[in-house]
């Protein structure tokens, strides 16, 4: 008889986590598959396992400092264990089986929308905040909290580029987000969190809600910005997906990209070029279908276009494969005719 496998994530509340059972440094080392001495060496020589570089992400220059080699392995294992902690319903990322579409869908058929995000969320999460979370929220001994803080943070803050940082920051700032959730629930408002983007919606979003939320964020040592009020009369973009009344719509950037790929397909000459353009189009049309829903008019139209492109792409690939052997044959004949 086959037993159902328990999921490796969101299995227990925070107080049931092994990190909340007052472990010693040796207990933590065993949990991470290391020895205490190895973890101490990693801390003492941490700079050897850190990559620092600048990268442009979403139009902004980001200073990345992330772990590599053995330190990255530690971050991956810490992430694995912290992902077993149950998360609140308002959190959509970082979380398995939840997408940007799910986040936007929560806010369908509302009249007013408020969006804001937390400025420099990861870099503003300091090692002091992480230490306090390990010590106060999990009840760890000072030396254990200190060891884990050294392992989790780089240059005195949460690492921008580490696989651990998203779930770690979510847990460290959980009391703040819970307070924001209480404010919204008291007003009967829907609310969701995607990394550091907070979306609130309802029939009416009072200005006092904004003031209260900003005060909570400020009291926790962080700053909010990009605050926007929006009406449901026109598309409201929530984590890259448009909301119009009861419908989800594809963002304009996606529609423009699809239009550009159609133009590329019409201008393509060879069968290979046409097949490549068709593949790109099918991918983007699939995204549209996922966003708007397979049963909607737009979703069904996208599905029809995908089916048509799939058939044409198969034809173009056959044509391209038929041309290639002919070219190879011509090349071999030419080679035989050469006098040397």
Query: In terms of domains, do 289 and 149 share one?
Result: no
For residues 54 and 149, membership in a common domain is answered with yes
Spatial separation of the C-alpha atoms in residues 55 and 77, rounded to whole Å:
26
Among 238, 259, 280, residue at a domain's last position: 238
Could you give the CA distance from residue 149 to residue 143 in angstroms, rounded to a whole number?
A: 10
Distances (CA, A) of 15 to 29, 84, 172, 173: 20, 12, 14, 16
CB 334 within 8 A of CB 303: no
Q: Are residues 227 and 255 in the same domain?
A: no
Asked whether residue 178 falls in the same domain as residue 276, the answer is: no
pLDDT for res 123: 92
Neighbouring C-beta atoms of residue 228, cutoff 10 Å = 11
Q: Which of 10, 238, 204, 205 is nearest to 106 (CA)?
A: 238
Residue 41 to residues 30, 35, 37, 46: CA-CA distances in angstroms? 15, 10, 6, 8
- Structural domain of residue 318, as residue ranges? 250-329
Q: Verify that 149 and 287 share a domain, yes or no.
A: no
| 34 and 82 within one domain | yes
Scanning 52-164, the segments in alpha helix (DSSP H) are 69-82, 100-105, 127-132, 142-152
Give the number of residues written for the chain.
340
Residue 2 forms part of a structural domain? no
Q: Are residues 226 and 117 part of one domain?
A: yes
Q: Are residues 115 and 71 in the same domain?
A: yes
Residue 133 domain flag: yes
Q: Into how many domains does the chain fold?
A: 2
The separation between the first and the last C-alpha atoms of the chain, rounded to the nearest angstrom, is 72
> In this predicted structure, what is the pLDDT of residue 330?
56
Which of 179, 214, 238 marks a domain boundary? 238
Q: Is there a single domain that holds both residue 254 and residue 234?
A: no
Q: What is the pLDDT along the chain (340 residues), one digit of tens a residue?
A: 456 666 677 889 999 999 999 999 999 999 999 999 999 999 999 999 999 988 877 677 778 889 999 999 999 999 999 999 999 999 999 988 899 999 999 999 999 999 999 999 999 999 999 999 999 999 999 999 999 999 999 999 999 889 999 999 999 999 999 999 999 999 999 999 999 999 999 999 998 999 999 999 999 999 998 899 888 677 888 988 999 888 999 988 899 999 999 999 999 999 999 999 999 999 999 999 999 999 999 999 999 999 999 999 999 999 888 866 555 555 554 544 443 3
Same domain for 32 and 154, yes or no, is: yes
Q: Report the distance separating Cα 35 and Cα 29, nearest Å.
A: 5
Asked which of 210, 238, 266 is the last residue of a domain, the reply is 238
Tell me if 100 is assigned to some domain: no
- What are 136-175's pLDDT values in tens digits? 999 999 999 999 999 999 999 999 889 999 999 999 999 9
Specify the long-range contacts of residues 26-35, CB closer than 8 Å, at least 24 apart: 28/144, 28/147, 28/148, 31/77, 31/81, 32/74, 32/77, 32/78, 33/77, 34/74
Q: Are residues 320 and 191 in the same domain?
A: no
> Are residues 75 and 197 both part of a single domain?
yes
């Amino acid at each position: 008889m086959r037993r159902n496998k328990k999921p490796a994530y969101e299995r227990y509340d925070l107080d049931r986590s092994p990190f909340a059972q007052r472990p010693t440094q040796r207990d933590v080392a065993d949990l991470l598959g290391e020895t205490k001495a190895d973890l101490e060496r990693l801390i003492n020589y941490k700079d050897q396992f850190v990559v620092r570089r600048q990268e442009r992400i979403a139009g902004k220059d980001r200073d990345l400092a992330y772990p590599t080699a053995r330190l990255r392995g530690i971050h991956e294992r810490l992430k694995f264990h912290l992902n077993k902690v149950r998360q609140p319903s308002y959190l959509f990322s970082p979380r398995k089986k939840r997408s940007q579409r799910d986040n936007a869908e929560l806010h369908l058929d509302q009249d007013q929308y408020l969006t804001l995000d937390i400025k420099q969320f990861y870099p503003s999460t300091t090692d002091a905040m992480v230490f306090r979370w390990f010590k106060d929220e999990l009840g760890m001994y000072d030396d254990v909290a200190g060891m884990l803080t050294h392992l989790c943070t780089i240059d005195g803050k949460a690492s921008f580029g580490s696989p651990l940082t998203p779930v770690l920051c979510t847990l460290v700032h959980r009391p703040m987000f819970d307070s924001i959730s209480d404010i919204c629930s008291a007003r009967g408002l829907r609310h969701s969190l995607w990394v550091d983007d907070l979306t609130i919606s309802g029939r009416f979003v009072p200005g006092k809600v904004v003031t209260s939320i900003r005060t909570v964020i400020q009291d926790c040592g962080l700053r909010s910005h990009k605050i926007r009020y929006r009406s449901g009369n026109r598309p409201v973009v929530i984590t890259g997906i448009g909301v119009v009344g009861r419908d989800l719509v594809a963002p304009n950037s996606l529609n423009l990209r699809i239009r550009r790929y159609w133009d590329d397909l019409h201008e393509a000459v060879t069968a290979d070029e046409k097949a490549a353009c068709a593949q790109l189009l099918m991918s983007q049309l699939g995204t549209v279908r996922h966003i708007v829903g397979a049963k909607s008019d737009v979703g069904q139209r996208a599905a029809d276009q995908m089916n048509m492109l799939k058939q044409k792409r198969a034809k173009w690939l056959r044509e391209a494969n038929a041309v290639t052997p002919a070219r190879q044959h011509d090349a071999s004949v030419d080679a035989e005719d050469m006098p040397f």
